[in-house]
Structure 1
Amino acid sequence: MPVPFEALIPLGLITGFFGASGILFNKLKTSINEGQPPRYGLDRWDRVMLDRDYRLTGTQRGQSHQTSAPDGFSTNSAWTLESEHI
């Protein structure tokens, strides 16, 4: 049986568009995470460390190599204060 070559054009287009969208989605997620692969399965400790890194460097994925914290780190605590309503 002969192969219908007319069907290969739409098949190539569909495969190309799925491949292009997958590559673009991967590049988008990598660019959002500052060039690093996305994190999966974060537990509470990981989220606390992400918050600490954000307060130290200003970015979610940034890490600091300095041995001491910046001056403003002691005042921008992660704990929220509640006003006491009696």
Structure 2
Amino acid sequence: MPVPFEALIPLGLITGFFGVSGLLFQKLKNSVNEGQPPRYGVDRWDRIMMDRDFRLTGSKRGQSHQPTAPAGFSTSSAWTLEKEHL
């Protein structure tokens, strides 16, 4: 039985659109994570370390190789202060 060639055009379009959307989604995820693989199973400790890395480098995925913290790190505490309610 011959294959109807009219069916190959929509099949090619659908395959092409799925391929393009998958590629764009991969590039978007890669750019959000700064070129590193995505994190899975992030717990409280990981979030604390991401906040520390953000305060040190300005990026949640970036890490610093400096042995000492920059001067502004001592004043950028993760602890928030509450006002006293009298």
- Please give the TM-score of this superposition, normalised by the length of structure 1: 0.95
Q: Is there any run of 5+ residues in structure 1 with no aligned partner, and where?
A: none
State the match for 2:43 in structure 1. Answer: 43
2-structure distance, mates of 1:6, 1:84:
74
State the match for 2:85 in structure 1. Answer: 85
Secondary structure in 2 matching 1:59: coil
Query: Can you list the C-alpha shifts for 1:46-70, whole angstroms capped at 9, x where unaligned?
Result: 0000000000000111100011111
Percent of aligned positions that are identical: 80
Q: 1:3 is aligned with what amino acid?
A: V
Length, aligned pairs only = 86
1:36 Cα deviation after fit: 1.0
In angstroms, what is the RMSD of aligned CA positions? 0.8
1-structure distance, mates of 2:45, 2:23:
31
State the match for 1:11 in structure 2. Answer: 11
Matched, 1:54 2:46: no
- Please give the TM-score of this superposition, normalised by the length of structure 2: 0.95
Q: Is there any run of 5+ residues in structure 2 with no aligned partner, and where?
A: none
